[in-house]
Copies of this chain bind each other. A is one copy, B any other.
């Protein structure tokens, strides 16, 4: 067990703790050779900068598909030391551009990389399926002997004695851990802003958020300072940053990937399960991550997991000639908050193009009371009335970040419930899940194509609508995010639109193509519970047939 936060008055101010934490981060970054220079006069779009700072070889390595890197690492045509060094440098640069890191681990990572290179030389085979690949991780994932503060200042001295289960498996598979990334106060923002580090910015437009809560991962992977990273998701925390930063992200079904060993509040609340999952620069990276973890049979150690082996056979029937039979539902609007024009355009284009793919059926899919789904999930998120979150903030005297206030104090569904009230909400949740299962079954769809959010990455402190992601947390459906396009100048705001409700009005008011300039536009593909493999396979197929993505991100 980790020590509980002290209830007595802190001996050190929160500002002093934050400053020390930043200094530690900066020192670990300064230890990367050759040092990354400070960049004066940062432009809104950071993405062209790495090519001007890094060597061509570093650029080539860090912009490779992780699947290709693994192939070269396991054959020895690339050394893990070179790959790790390249990612360390690009991650150090990403920090200067987007403020996405809590620390780098240059010495430990390079030492590990050299060990793996020696292992390959000696044994003539890789250590495992992730041999030599650098993997980044959200700070809240336990790393032995490193602090795990989960963005609460009061937790600054929490230092787990052992690794999270997921890190043990990734290390046994040959991964190199080299970077830890930022997260927001409470871990319950769709942005990333804490009193340790301030806000993490969007690589494509510094006025916009990287998303959250795994926003450090989003920005780092978006800038190719990582090709594969670990996030967590209870309402959109993998998918929001993946979408905002133009990368792939998977919220798997609960019970598939190992969860043991995290710093967070309310870890034992079962009503709405949090999950861990990947963010990656490629769909192949998402897949190798999930498959490696499942192939390790994590359920033998962690009994909350389900012993479902990773399915390698196709989840779709095939027509003669090899075309898959795929029925794609399209939910363009959840009926509560209408997505901004670029999201509607991307979905409409995909739907139109999918209609001409042999074997693919495209059908509209009506939302089933998504507003009620938000009422249920937001009533269950903080069943103690937010007491544990509030205490963790109060323990250090740190101020509340704006989106902490939004989700905990301005959220009318946060109430301290009795056990009987939790059961009553759980009954509503289960009735909704049952109704949605019937709705889905009746539609006959295999997968559902829908927005990831009500727009592309919004300006800082304005990400207030969770419905497009939290919907699938409530249902516990696997949901995959993939980049499709970017916001275009031609994505004009609809001045004549009459909003349906206050949330819709707020969201509508955020948008203009100028404010969202250059922001990635992503989509979400959803499947039924435990159909993670099917969702990935469908996205691979759609991507191939449609030539996605339709924009450049590096």
Are A436 and B270 interface neighbours, CB within 8 A?
no
In the complex, how many residues of chain A place their beta carbon closer than 8 angstroms to a beta carbon of chain B?
42
Contacts of A271 in B (CB 8 A): 270
Contacts of A319 in B (CB 8 A): none
- Chain B residue at minimal CB-CB distance from A433: B303
Measured in the bound complex, the distance between the Cα atoms of B422 and A388 in whole Å is 13
Contacts of A255 in B (CB 8 A): 306
A434 within 8 A of B: yes
A423 within 8 A of B: yes
Are A301 and B270 interface neighbours, CB within 8 A?
no
Are B268 and A441 interface neighbours, CB within 8 A?
no
A418 within 8 A of B: yes
A307 within 8 A of B: yes
A513 within 8 A of B: no
Task: Name which of A308, A419, A423, A433 has the most chain B CB atoms within 10 A of its CB.
Answer: A419
Measured in the bound complex, the distance between the Cα atoms of B269 and A417 in whole Å is 14
Are A306 and B306 interface neighbours, CB within 8 A?
yes
Which one of A149-157, A223-231, A424-432 contacts B? Answer: A424-432
A384 within 8 A of B: yes
Are A419 and B260 interface neighbours, CB within 8 A?
no
Q: Give the shortest distance, in Å, between A269 (CB) and chain B (any CB).
A: 6
Are B268 and A302 interface neighbours, CB within 8 A?
no
Q: For chain A residues 400-451, which have a beta carbon within 8 Å of chain B?
A: 416-420, 422-424, 426-427, 430, 433-434, 436-438, 441
Q: Give the shortest distance, in Å, between A160 (CB) and chain B (any CB).
A: 15
Measured in the bound complex, the distance between the Cα atoms of B418 and A383 in whole Å is 10
Are A301 and B438 interface neighbours, CB within 8 A?
yes
Measured in the bound complex, the distance between the Cα atoms of B433 and A388 in whole Å is 24
A266 within 8 A of B: yes
Contacts of A482 in B (CB 8 A): none
A96 within 8 A of B: no
Contacts of A420 in B (CB 8 A): 384, 387-388
Contact of A384 among B260, B302, B416, B418 (CB under 8 A): B418
Contact of A529 among B303, B433, B438 (CB under 8 A): B303
Chain A 288-320: CB-based contact to B (< 8 A → 1; otherwise 0): 000000000001111110111000000000000
Are A437 and B302 interface neighbours, CB within 8 A?
yes
Contacts of A476 in B (CB 8 A): 303
A118 within 8 A of B: no
Are B423 and A269 interface neighbours, CB within 8 A?
yes
Contacts of A416 in B (CB 8 A): 419
A465 within 8 A of B: no
Measured in the bound complex, the distance between the Cα atoms of B423 and A420 in whole Å is 14
Are A427 and B267 interface neighbours, CB within 8 A?
yes
Contacts of A529 in B (CB 8 A): 299, 303, 307
Contacts of A268 in B (CB 8 A): 423-424, 426-427, 430
Contacts of A418 in B (CB 8 A): 384, 419
Measured in the bound complex, the distance between the Cα atoms of B268 and A522 in whole Å is 36
Measured in the bound complex, the distance between the Cα atoms of B301 and A532 in whole Å is 19
A530 within 8 A of B: yes
Q: For chain A residues 162-181, which have a beta carbon within 8 Å of chain B?
A: none
Are B433 and A304 interface neighbours, CB within 8 A?
yes
A475 within 8 A of B: yes
- Chain B residue at minimal CB-CB distance from A424: B268
Q: For chain A residues 490-548, which have a beta carbon within 8 Å of chain B?
A: 529-530
Are A303 and B427 interface neighbours, CB within 8 A?
no
Using A420-B384, A423-B266, A441-B300 as known contacts, say yes or no to A260 and B434 having CB atoms under 8 A apart.
Answer: yes
Q: For chain A residues 58-78, which have a beta carbon within 8 Å of chain B?
A: none
Measured in the bound complex, the distance between the Cα atoms of B259 and A434 in whole Å is 12
Contact of A383 among B266, B419, B427 (CB under 8 A): B419
Chain A 256-284: CB-based contact to B (< 8 A → 1; otherwise 0): 00001000001111110000000000000
Contacts of A423 in B (CB 8 A): 266-269, 384
Contacts of A424 in B (CB 8 A): 268
- What 7 pairs between A and B have smallest CB-CB spacing? A268-B426, A268-B423, A268-B427, A303-B433, A303-B437, A384-B419, A383-B419
- Identify 8 residue pairs between A and B in the complex whose beta-carbon atoms are under 8 Å apart, listed by A's number: A267-B427, A268-B423, A270-B426, A299-B529, A303-B433, A304-B430, A384-B418, A422-B422
Point out residues on A near B: beta carbons under 8 Å: 255, 260, 266-271, 299-304, 306-308, 383-384, 387-388, 416-420, 422-424, 426-427, 430, 433-434, 436-438, 441, 475-476, 529-530
